[in-house]
Amino acid sequence: MTSGAERAPGTDVLPVPGPDKALVGRLVEGRYEIVRPIARGGMATVYEAVDRRLDRDVAIKIMHASLAHDPDFVARFEREAKAAARINHPNVVSVTDTGVDGDLVFLVMELVRGRTLRELLRERGRLSPEQALEVLEPVLTALAAAQSAGLVHRDVKPENVLLGDDNVIKVADFGLARAVEASGLTTHAGLLLGTVAYLPPEQVTAGRSDGRGDVYAAGVVLFEMLTGAVPYEAETPIAVAYRHVHEDVPAPSSLAPEIPTELDDLVLQATAREQDDRFADAAAFLVAARRARRHLARQPSRSGDTQAIPLTEHLTQPLEVPGRPKRPKQPRNSTPRRRRRWPIVLVVLVMLSALAAGLGVWLALPSRVEVPALGNRSLATVEQALTAKHLPYRIGAPQNSDSVPQGAVLRLTPGSGSKVKEHTTITIVPSAGVLHITVPKVATLSEAEATQAITASGLPKPTVKQEYSDTVAAGTVISSDPSAGTSIDHRDTVTLVVSQGPAPVTIPNVVGLPKAQAEQTLTGVGLKPAESQAFSSSVPKGDVISADPNGGTGHRGDTVKLVISQGPQMVTVPDLHGKSGAQAAQALQQVGLVPSGHELFGSSNSVVAQSPSAGTSVKVGSTVTFYTD
């Protein structure tokens, strides 16, 4: 056995067959000479090696080729190995080096000679409560040291608990499971299938776990040490994982009735399905385990209990094996002698006394009752059922549920089916019914901003419906359905009404139309007329001379510029009397009139007559005739 051995339950112990022996004799990174393979697991093969630089024996874990060829895994593996190397604790297998040598990704650790907890359990079946706690304490000490350094193991199992020949218990492989999972390789080649028996529910459902996940796995290991079996068995790993999520770990005493209540309580709290119901971390679990161990040490032994053998003396000692040669019997004295009867009587009296004492202890032990299955029942029914079983209760904070109606009981803690001592307080968690969420105000937000606000509130991603709007800019939310402030089922979907901007329209031709008719035509299709005026000799006064744009396609709310005719431009004929012909012509031209001069009697001294007469209003460009004498 060595640090890093990863034999899942049911795998064979070395010798390791096949290609693993091909590396024997290779010098890794010019420093570590591989001596022999020790164990093979789902991620790697472990070898005994010699560090030629420091002249010492080490264990070197070489990742399987399927992992070594994945660059993401290699990068994460090195980061996790460096993090694990920061843990300096006597109950943690020390990591001394890591690297890549050609096609080999490796990790160098201290060599721990002895065996794994898995091998001990195969040999003994199960441990006594005292022995189980003796193994558990250093495991929790190691996990607590790692958690205080910010590192979570994520793969606590008997294969990673090493029982050294020097009677020191160590935990191996910190962070390596995280490196595999983070690379998306957890289902590759059966990786982690050997550890599914110890996975916390949140690691199954969400793929992530914190220190309380290590607490859960350590609780399962304690269950296995006490009973010789894991809590859940099924035909496939997926089925086992499903049971972790949907079933409470049973009390160890359900398989081995002689197990003390204190150890039942340890296992049940450590393996609670809800993370908040477990020990807060490995340190809290360790405190409770030490308290239970001190309590057991003060209790008298009970008939039928497994004999407590100090593990520090017997962890690595072989047990009696059937067929082993027995010590030769001493030759009897050939001299006949009379047998004495009093030793037999004494033995019988001692046995009867022990039986009576054991019976007395058994009778003094508190009886255990099973927590009834009372989910989805009324609170009154649950209270009555618990009272009938002599189980006091308290009402916990209501929690939402999609399946259990409001006011009914959602669950009990400890869970239904658990065996607890009489007078154990049960926590009743009522259902608050379906979670309802208030629709947030999203009008005037962009579509992306509104979607983020909806999902942040806990509602599903909204659907989008687009509408034209004359007042809301394109891409902006007009409204929501249901409207803001409405309380809805957290599973319901909100519809966002998003503006496409103004609707497109065809611009009508209004040139030549009277002003009023042109305006009515434009406003009727959602356009806005803007008017200016101009004189026109050809377009009657009040009619449209021109429009911009004139025809084509636009959008509702667009402006169309209209030029309205003022009719022809008029001017007043000036008074020309007394002016010379040249002066009269100049005066007419200055006001836009056309002069037409005529002489009377052959002279041209001054104007004596004009037509039209002075003061008459005429069109610009009209001809004015004047006469000079």
Better-scored residue on pLDDT, 624 or 551: 624
- Ramachandran category for residue 160: left, alpha or beta (phi over 0 → left; psi -120 to 50 → alpha): alpha
Find the catalytic residue in 155, 248, 281, 543. Answer: 155
pLDDT at 18: 46
Neighbours of 412 (CB within 10 A): 25
pLDDT at 309: 42
pLDDT at 484: 94
Long-range contacts of 354-363 (CB under 8 A, 24+ apart): 354/303, 355/303, 357/300, 358/302, 358/303, 358/304, 359/303, 361/300, 361/302, 362/302, 362/303
Which positions ≥6 away from 333 have C-beta within 8 Å?
none
Q: Is pLDDT of 21 > 90?
A: no
Average pLDDT over the chain reads 82
Average pLDDT (216-238) is 92
In the numeric block, the tokens 């911009």 are attached to 548
Task: Give residue 284's pLDDT band: very low, low, confident or very high (50, 70, 90).
Answer: very high
- The H-or-E segment that residue 360 falls in is helix 342-364
Q: Is pLDDT of 342 > 70?
A: no
pLDDT at 367: 67
State whether residue 364 is helix, strand or coil. helix
In the chain, % of residues over pLDDT 90: 49
Instruction: Report the C-alpha gap between 530 and 335 in whole angstroms.
Output: 143
**DSSP conformational letter for 42:** S
pLDDT at 176: 59
Kindly calculate the radius of gyration of the chain based on its CA atoms and give it in whole angstroms.
Answer: 49
Winning range, highest mean pLDDT, from 303-312, 339-348, 564-573:
564-573
Instruction: Report the C-alpha gap between 50 and 28 in whole angstroms.
Output: 10
Neighbours of 131 (CB within 10 A): 23
Which positions ≥6 away from 623 have C-beta within 8 Å?
593, 594, 595, 596
Tokens at 515, concatenated: 């002003």
pLDDT one-digit tens code per residue, 90-104: 999 988 888 888 889
Average pLDDT (447-465) is 93
Average pLDDT (295-320) is 51
Instruction: Report the C-alpha gap between 365 and 358 in whole angstroms.
Output: 11
Q: Is pLDDT of 294 > 50?
A: yes
Tokens at 600, concatenated: 């009377």
From 237, 192, 188, select the one nearest 65 (Cα to Cα). 188
pLDDT one-digit tens code per residue, 251-272: 999 999 999 999 999 999 999 9
Winning range, highest mean pLDDT, from 304-308, 359-363, 493-497:
493-497
In this structure, of 195-209, 225-239, 350-364, 606-620, the range with the lowest mean pLDDT score is: 350-364
pLDDT one-digit tens code per residue, 371-416: 888 778 888 888 888 888 888 888 888 888 888 888 889 888 888 8
Average pLDDT (135-162) is 91
Task: Give residue 20's pLDDT band: very low, low, confident or very high (50, 70, 90).
Answer: low
Question: What distance separates the 2 farthest-apart alpha carbons in the chain?
Answer: 199
Q: Is pLDDT of 318 > 70?
A: no
Q: Is pLDDT of 515 > 70?
A: yes
Q: Is pLDDT of 344 > 70?
A: no
Task: Give residue 546's pLDDT band: very low, low, confident or very high (50, 70, 90).
Answer: very high
Question: Would residue 155 show up in a list of annotated catalytic residues for this protein?
Answer: yes
Give the residue ranges of DSSP H helices in 168-314.
176-182, 201-205, 211-227, 237-246, 261-270, 282-298, 311-314
Neighbours of 576 (CB within 10 A): 27
Q: Is pLDDT of 184 > 50?
A: no
Average pLDDT (17-31) is 79
Neighbouring C-alpha atoms within 13 Å toward the C-beta of 274: 9
pLDDT one-digit tens code per residue, 186-206: 433 333 434 789 999 988 777
Task: Give residue 511's pLDDT band: very low, low, confident or very high (50, 70, 90).
Answer: very high
Q: Is pLDDT of 62 > 80?
A: yes
Q: Is pLDDT of 183 > 70?
A: no
Task: Give residue 351's pLDDT band: very low, low, confident or very high (50, 70, 90).
Answer: low
pLDDT one-digit tens code per residue, 407-436: 889 888 888 888 888 778 888 888 888 999
pLDDT at 210: 85
Which positions ≥6 away from 343 have C-beta within 8 Å?
none
pLDDT at 82: 78
Average pLDDT (546-574) is 92
pLDDT at 297: 86
Tokens at 182, concatenated: 């983070």
Winning range, highest mean pLDDT, from 61-70, 304-313, 459-468:
459-468
pLDDT at 604: 61
pLDDT at 361: 41
